[in-house]
Chain A
Amino acid sequence: MSGAPYYAGPEAPRSRLLSALMAAAAIAVALALPAVTFGLGYSARGVALHTRATVKAELVNQVIALSPTMWRYQDVRLHDVLTRTPVERPDERATLLAADGTVVSASDNRPGGIAMRRSAPVHDAGVPVGRVEVEQRIDDLLLFTALAAALGAALAGSLFALLRRSQMREAATLATMLDERERARITLFAITDGVVSVDAERRVAYLNPAAAALTLWTPEEARGRPLDEVCPLVDEATMAPAPAAVHTAMDQDRAAAYDEREIALMRRDGTSVAVEDSAAPLHDRTGAVIGAVMVLRDVSATRRMEKRALWDATHDSLTGLVNRREFEARVEAALARARAAAPGGVVCYLDLDQFKLVNDTCGHTAGDALLRQVGGVLQNRLRRSDTLARLGGDEFGVLLEDCPLDRAERIAADLLAAIREFRFVWEGKAFSVGASIGMIALGRDVGSRADVLAAVDAACYAAKEQGRGRICVYRSSDADIARRRSEMGWAARLSRAIEDNRLTLYYQPYKPLGPHSAPGEHMEVLLRLIDEDGNLVAPGTFLPAAERYNLMPAIDRWVIGHVFARYHELVRRFGAPLTCAINLSGTTLGDEGIFDYIRAQASAHAVPPGGICFEITETAAINNMRVATQFMAAVKGLGFSFALDDFGVGTSSLAYLKTLPVDFLKIDGSFVRNIASDPIDRTMTETINRVGHLMGLQTVGEYAADAEIVAALREIGVDFAQGYGVAPPAPLPE
């Protein structure tokens, strides 16, 4: 674009010419009015005066005819002629002059001033003998002329002012139009949307730079060509030709847009670009459609973002597989088809068995890689029409469309086999992975989508409980699955119980057995639930559900909060020093905020160091070794201790003892229970007790059901005994 003023050029000379013409017109009016006034007045007056002179001359002629020798002495008669025929005006003077110019007779008036004069000859028998002169003042005519001049000047001024104003208005209008045109031009230049105008024959009349860049046609080349040649549009999905909105706009005489469809512009070089097009008709003054303007917006980036957003909303970012929400939607759709008597599908729920081991020992990065590779392994075994989804954690979902159950079972078996054969290698170490699969065949009687997913989840859990690496097909008669579903019911009841504060605390003391037992009172705080009917529910009933449905962190927090709050009250009741043991689930160990919560509660209730001992199970600790180790070290920094619960039933537990910073080792009740009668259990107890003591730990024998067991424990050298033989669980005093 040029920086020169766009309104320069021929307008200035034209304006000057117009101004000159207007001035000339005004001057003409200013001069014409007095000139015409004077001219007409002077002429009319001259004619009248000449007529008067002629009349008087004719009458003088009569006097001369009657008295050819003495006419010039007919003073009274001549005077009468001059003054009364016709009657002399006050500003008029008539004079009769002889041929030699001498005055023969004259009227008495002395008009003076500026006068005009007209004469008529007098004759004697046809011979001129003199003339009658009539003069008349023309002051009034001059006055009129002056007034006319003033009026003319005023009119001229007004005319000039009007013309000038009109010219200035026209100039302003022109400037505004040019300004608007320039703005429009600049706007069209600057706008990022492509703008194409077409004529009535739908041939291209104009392309802005953006349109030229989109179509790869230059405006000069495009001009006059059919729109569909310059801007061919296609359906982006099918690549079939799509009519431009211009045609609708012109055919139906209305603004039109095709933003509902995903269309693309086929560029001149054969590539395509995603666009949205809209168009509006152009009208002439009569309202007839004379063309249209089409706007092409390059939406390729937007459309990519939309697709990406859609993909993100329906896919798992880690594995690239369909996510839970999309999976549920597809299950819903399949369920709808199944209800409509269409061939049903099968939904599978797949849970990896060793994922946590890899994740904990090799880190999240390895866990993520494992999930991605497992996803790939599974995907390779599925049909294109099937859906593989990552539902969260190490859980996968599979929707087998139009697939009978027996075939689905073969596919599931194939999947299990593939996973079994798969080896995950990380930093030189190879890991084998197992999985459990729950399955359900979709049909009219499977209930809702939530029912389907709950059922297949339960089936998967049942498969795990049956020994892992198995496939469990859900059938509504399965007792295990029914129990599993019962747990699902418990999960809801637990949530309500926490909300309704229907949890309550019991305690069971440790009995010190030897001189090396840690001083002070020791008790384990136990959890009970009061159901909706007021009955006490043992933890074995609801804790599996709480573990399964991730409610343990909330329950553990509830217990911690209440014990810490009541600690000093318990001290007053049981005496100091008092150590309250609180159970922590494996899930709670992975709860990121749990340490901060404990620290806050300790600070809030001034619980002294040594006042709390957290019990964690061997399994929970081993499954979350890295997290558990970090958590325990931090909590021990607050002065609290740890007990490893149920020790001895797990595998490789002795090796882990070296890395776990525990203070108490609680020997699992399965050994303690029979130490009086079973030498193996007694030996196991003795071994564990010895190892614990070698590591500087205090030992606790669980399930000390009677005095005999207590005595045996004392004999072995166990530091504490806990069980009905010491004291049954009792409500924690309020």
Chain B
Amino acid sequence: MTDVFARRRSIRLSLALSVCGCAWALALPAVAEEYAIGGSGTNLGAMRILAEAYAARHPGGDRFTVLPSMGSSGGVKAVTAGAVALGVTSRPLKADEAAAGATAREYARTPFVFAAAATLPVEGLATADIADIYAGRLAAWPDGTRIRMVLRPASDSDNDAIRAISPAVAAALKEAEARPGMAYAVTDQETARAIASVPGGIGPSTLALVRTEDWGLKALALDGVAPSPETIADGRYPWFKSLYVVTSPRSPEAAHAFVAFVRSDEGRAILARTGHWVP
């Protein structure tokens, strides 16, 4: 199935080329296009802000629309297939993805966090608490509210980040996945929504998402360290996710221009402001 946007661009381009010819066409001013960005939900909030900043920087120029989350893999597939101009992921490329022509470039890092509703009277947890919550040993918040951990699909990269916290947490996660009645959320946004909407909810997220999307969440400190660009920069907060922009040979030039904007000072400033640390 051919992506609608890509087909639309292709038709236009084909018409222009066929009517005007190549030389004449080169003499004409470029037509503003709208390109899609798709991929991991972690990246989307910041990308939306960057796209808006890019549009503001280039009035009448190409515009970038951030699609709903399709996950890192979906983003890579879409960009490889030409369905989106630019893919974003919260993990490096896999070998088969790279073999398919995808090229990834890290543009920022953001703390991997456990988020909770902003109203929850808890500010931080120990990693042991995280293990206990997954294992069911810690079942209620101090105010008595039942702790409801929102899980991610097994294939989601968040689970890799969670398991990386400690072997105890990894074992506890396995227990949680086998426990009935657990809440699952497929995308980062759905996860955020679930955490915010479920009483006593808590779940994996990133500081970037907490700051760029208005879900009413807060990032909890782990082992007494609050997640921030600074704490991951100085290593006190060791849990973070690297964020990438992905292009393919089928990506338009505009995509590369947008990537350049992301990596520009303005872009870096936006990223830093939205919970990213640009290495």
Contact = CB atoms under 8 A, between A and B. Distances in A.
Q: Do A and B come from one complex?
A: yes
B251 interface: no
B71 interface: yes
B93 to A, nearest CB: 14
B70 A76 contact: yes
A73 B77 contact: yes
A70 interface: yes
Contacts of A83: 153-155
A76 B75 CA distance: 10
Interface string A59-75: 00000000101101111
B27 interface: no
A129 interface: yes
B198 interface: no
Given A70-B38, A70-B78, A108 B155 contact: yes
Contacts of A129: 1
A83 B154 CA distance: 9
A77 interface: yes
A84 interface: yes
B155 A79 contact: yes
A369 interface: no
B81 A76 contact: no
Contacts of B70: 67, 70, 73-77
B74 interface: yes
Contacts of B1: 69, 72, 98, 129
B187 interface: yes
Contact of B186 (A70, A72, A77): A77
A353 interface: no
A563 B184 CA distance: 153
A80 interface: yes
Nearest to A85: B184
A94 to B, nearest CB: 13
Contacts of B72: 75-76
B153 A80 contact: yes
Contacts of A77: 70-71, 186-187
Contacts of B165: none
Interface string B150-190: 00011110000000000000000000000000001011000
A198 B1 CA distance: 101
Contact of A76 (B3, B5, B186): B186
Q: Most B CB atoms within 10 A — which of A70, A73, A79, A108?
A: A73
A79 B73 CA distance: 10
Contacts of A67: 68, 70
B68 to A, nearest CB: 7
B67 interface: yes
Contact of A74 (B5, B74, B155): B74
Q: Most B CB atoms within 10 A — which of A67, A72, A76, A79?
A: A76
Given A75-B71, A76-B74, A70 B155 contact: no
A80 to B, nearest CB: 4
Interface in B52-81: 67-75, 77-78, 81
Interface in B1-48: 1, 3-5, 38
A70 B67 contact: yes
Nearest to A66: B68
Interface in A80-110: 80, 83-84, 98, 108
Contact of B187 (A69, A76, A84): A76
Given A79-B155, A80-B153, A129-B1, A73 B75 contact: yes
A76 B68 CA distance: 12
A67 B83 CA distance: 13
B190 to A, nearest CB: 9
B156 A73 contact: no
A69 B8 CA distance: 12
Given A79-B153, A84-B153, A73 B74 contact: yes
A70 B73 CA distance: 13
Interface of A: 67, 69-70, 72-77, 79-80, 83-84, 98, 108, 129
20 contacts: A70-B84, A73-B38, A73-B81, A73-B83, A74-B74, A75-B70, A75-B73, A76-B70, A76-B73, A76-B153, A76-B186, A79-B73, A80-B153, A80-B184, A80-B186, A83-B153, A84-B153, A84-B154, A84-B184, A108-B155
Given A75-B74, A76-B72, 5 more contacts: A70-B70, A73-B78, A76-B70, A79-B73, A80-B153
Interface of B: 1, 3-5, 38, 67-75, 77-78, 81, 83-84, 153-156, 184, 186-187
- The list of the 4 closest CB pairs from A to B, nearest first, reads A76-B71, A75-B73, A75-B74, A73-B74
